[in-house]
Structure 1
Amino acid sequence: MGILGKACLSLGGVMRPPGPSTIERIRSLAATATPTMATLADEPGTRFSASGAVERAGRVILLIDANHPLHEVLRTAPPGDTDLEIGVALRAMRHVGHTPTVRARIWCQGWVSVVPAEESHEAALTVWESTPDETLLAVGGEPREGAPLLARVEPERLIYHTYDCAGVIDGADFRAVEPDPLIGPAERILRHMNDRHRDELSASLRHLPEVPQGAAWIWELDSLGVTLWVNRLDSDHPSLVRVPWSARATAPCQLERALHDLMAHQGASPHH
């Protein structure tokens, strides 16, 4: 049985450690985010709709249909041309109860180009995993007139704003850091816990010292700990409570065990 780390309370300020670094946290948030809007650097007043996902390497993949204003510009650009500067708005969502809540807004500024034909299949799978779209079935090979294409944005700078912090990250620094290795299974576990075990999560707060009482949901889950969103009984303003693991989790089953220990009031640990 592991020992539960001391919970850290955030009241709208920067979340305190232990937890992932800021860049790792934003990389993980970006991995769950989807594009909503794009603008060209030389036409900032013109906005285009955007859809796609963020690939594992940290670049934004955009699905551009044949009628999109950017389609012809990208299709006719020389192969490998990255002279087109673009900004893409990304949004990561979380449902708190039945209410959709924005976890993070990220503005990615960088250079956009068509995904090379030999990499288009993998890029299409990345988008499909995030947002299944039958348009992806028509993507492949060299860009064709009347057919959708995939483009990717090499980040030069990212501006982020979460519920509890904001800042700017250099694109190279962003791509140099890996997202949390358990981000995929963590999101699935998190959704299950929020759907089925909210009462147990709320009850577990009674056993955490100096933590406000209220209705709790999992806000973030990673290999270093869990962050709970608490709708406080004594305030109209929610709080984020960070509960660290006693050691880094390296497998999904360890995350499940740690959460079970937390709700069973036995002390949370990713160890078996």
Structure 2
Amino acid sequence: MHVTVPPISERVRGLALTAAPTHVSLDGTAHTARGAVDEAGRPLLLVRPGEPLHTLRDEAVVTVDLTATRALAGIDHPRGLLKIQGWAEAVPEAGLRAAAVAVAARCPDESLFAAVENDPAGPRLFQVDVAQVIYLTGQESGMLDAEDYFGTGPDPLLEAAERMLAHVNGSHREQLHGALAVLLGHPVRDAWLWELDRYGVTVRSGVEDPTLIRLPWPSPVTTPHALERALAAMLCPHERRRP
């Protein structure tokens, strides 16, 4: 059977990698959080002195809220909400630099330099060992246990796909509108690329009451070059239909 959408575990891993922590709940109380998610899928938290996690010396059960967004015309729109439940512990000294680099990519902060010094009185970096993930994305919701979450990875073309998606949304929306009119048989306005992956592309259409339109590739692509070609063929339907 031809697969037209990514497996949910793969999609959740991709959303997590592009998401940012917004809150962390400790002992039933939610606090503002900042940080990122590392390539293994674990949340990383930058904790300043005075914040509840800062004095933690062992590990603690926490829930980290992650929000993945897509910026359209300078406005962030939510793509997915994740609640990652697990155990927070300080990042081992050997992993501090890598953790700081990962956080800096999503959440630049000068205090990361001090966190790398591992001064107990300064800011600290924590990592969360995942027990389960509750997800809400579009019309899908559910839960993944740690085995399912860690048993897969994000789309291997994720980085290239995000670059291509941003380029089309920034420079080729009129072409996108024209292509959709040909493919769907009716005019489409206020359309943006919403998701792009090895199985196809999802278009978001409308402002007040947006709809999502999924356009799968004839077969899954396996390289960034093949993804670029598939996207170009979608944007140029007239050329694709020439004999």
The verdict on a shared fold, with TM-score over 0.5 as the criterion, is yes
Give the aligned partner of residue 137 of structure 1: 113
Residue type of the partner of 1:96? L
Name the CA distance, whole Å, in 2 between partners of 1:181 and 1:150. Answer: 27
Q: Which structure 1 segments of 5+ residues have no match?
A: 1-5, 7-16
Contact 1:199 1:215 in 2 (8 A): no
Give the aligned partner of residue 154 of structure 1: 129
Q: Structure 1 residues 260 and 122, CA, compared in 2 at 3 Å: closer, same or farther?
A: same
Name the CA distance, whole Å, in 2 between partners of 1:254 and 1:131. Answer: 32
Give the aligned partner of residue 68 of structure 1: 51
Q: Structure 1 residues 267 and 30, CA, compared in 2 at 3 Å: closer, same or farther?
A: farther
Helix, strand or coil: the match of 1:66? coil
Summarize deviations over 1:98-142 as a string: whole Å, max 9, x none: 43211111111100101111111111111112222221112225x
Residue type of the partner of 2:101? L
Give the aligned partner of residue 262 of structure 1: 234
Task: Name which structure has the greater RCO, CA cutoff 8 Å, separation 6+.
Answer: 1
Give the aligned partner of residue 31 of structure 2: 48
Give the aligned partner of residue 14 of structure 1: none
Residue type of the partner of 1:131? C
TM-score, with length taken from structure 1: 0.81
Give the aligned partner of residue 32 of structure 1: 18
Name the CA distance, whole Å, in 1 between partners of 2:128 and 2:157. Answer: 24
Q: Which structure 2 segments of 5+ residues have no match?
A: none
Contact 2:177 2:187 in 1 (8 A): no
Q: Root-mean-square deviation (CA), in Å?
A: 2.2
Give the CA deviation at 1:245: 1.9
Q: Structure 1 residues 52 and 97, CA, compared in 2 at 3 Å: closer, same or farther?
A: same
Give the CA deviation at 1:229: 0.5
Give the CA deviation at 1:212: 7.2
Name the CA distance, whole Å, in 1 between partners of 2:196 and 2:171. Answer: 16
- 1:18 maps to 2:18: no
Give the CA deviation at 1:210: 6.6
TM-score, with length taken from structure 2: 0.90
Give the aligned partner of residue 197 of structure 2: 222
Residue type of the partner of 2:25? T
Give the CA deviation at 1:26: 1.0
Summarize deviations over 1:6-45 as a string: whole Å, max 9, x none: 9xxxxxxxxxx511101111111111000000111xx21x
Match among 171, 177, 184 for residue 196 of structure 1: 171
- 1:112 maps to 2:88: yes
Name the CA distance, whole Å, in 1 between partners of 2:115 and 2:220. Answer: 40
For these two proteins, the number of residue pairs brought into alignment is 239
Name the CA distance, whole Å, in 2 between partners of 1:160 and 1:211. Answer: 34
Identity in percent = 37
* Greater Cα shift, 60-69 or 174-183: 60-69
Give the aligned partner of residue 62 of structure 2: 86
